[in-house]
A and B are shown apart, each in its own frame.
Chain A
Amino acid sequence: MKKKRRTQKPERLKLEGTTLYIRVPGELDHHSADEISRSADRMLEEQNIRRMIFDFSDTGFCDSSGIGMLMGRYKMMKALGGEVRAVQVGERVAKILMLSGIMKIIPVERAEGGMER
């Protein structure tokens, strides 16, 4: 039988000093948003975190569950006097974030040159 080589699941969370970097998966829906929220919240309980940076480099799909995830983390970080930011946001995700109005409370940095469709 042929052995299939499985690529390792990439590490989604990385702590650097007091900044938690979160690499958002390709599709951000209720399923994946719940997973990320759970692990980010666990880190927040255990570590001294002042900034949460969501990296959308890989993300081509996002629905309102992604907005819920960002809003929830924003509220937590605000209560702790910290901040949340979204970076490397491609065109599709930007459309969703824009529509939700979340750009008014969370700084959003677009991916350079945009992630073209």
Chain B
Amino acid sequence: MKNRMRVEFDSISANEAFARVVVAAFMAQLNPSMEEVADVKTAVSEAVTNAIIHGYQGQVHTVEICGETEGRRLTVQIKDTGVGIPDVEKAMEPLYTSRPEAGRSGMGFLFMEAFMDEVQVESEPGKGTCVTMCKQIGTDGD
């Protein structure tokens, strides 16, 4: 069965928790394990935090999340229309951060990649960033 959802919210840090809960509720239909839910929540949190801190640099604009399930496959897209990433490959290097002074660990993409099966980043400077992440749910036997 195929299912889709879309949600938009302001890019304020209090909405990071909201974004995690929305995606967790959406994926509940796939009857995931607690660990799978925690993994997806962490990955979503990373992408949404990036949109808020880096994409919009603290200004309030809109973050969009699209979710899709098809069979046991979950796809989550996190989009912003912020500053974009000039060099995606470099941004995805472990420990790289454009803002070391702001207490950023540089591990956001590392965590997204560790907890999801696929992570794809499309970005254009001045236009924004779209992170697409997929995960097969229920692979550890149910």
Contacts and interface: CB of A to CB of B under 8 A. Distances in A.
B14 A61 contact: no
Contacts of A37: 103
Interface stretch (A12-20, A23-31, A47-55): A23-31
B46 interface: yes
Contacts of A62: 42
Contacts of B34: 117
A30 B38 contact: no
A77 interface: no
B103 A68 contact: yes
Nearest to B114: A99
Contacts of B35: 117
Contact of A72 (B20, B53, B103): B103
Nearest to A92: B38
By size class, the interface of chain A is 20 to 34
Interface string B1-44: 00000000000011011001000000000000011001001100
Contacts of B52: 30
Nearest to B41: A61
Nearest to B109: A64
Interface of B: 13-14, 16-17, 20, 34-35, 38, 41-42, 45-46, 49, 52-53, 103-108, 110-111, 114
Contact of A65 (B14, B105, B110): B105
Interface of A: 27, 29-31, 33-34, 37, 61-65, 67-69, 71-72, 92, 96, 99-100, 117
Contact of B104 (A27, A68, A96, A99): A68
Contact of B111 (A27, A63, A71): A63
B103 A69 contact: yes
Contacts of B13: 29-31, 34
Contacts of B110: 64, 99
B119 to A, nearest CB: 14
Nearest to A27: B17
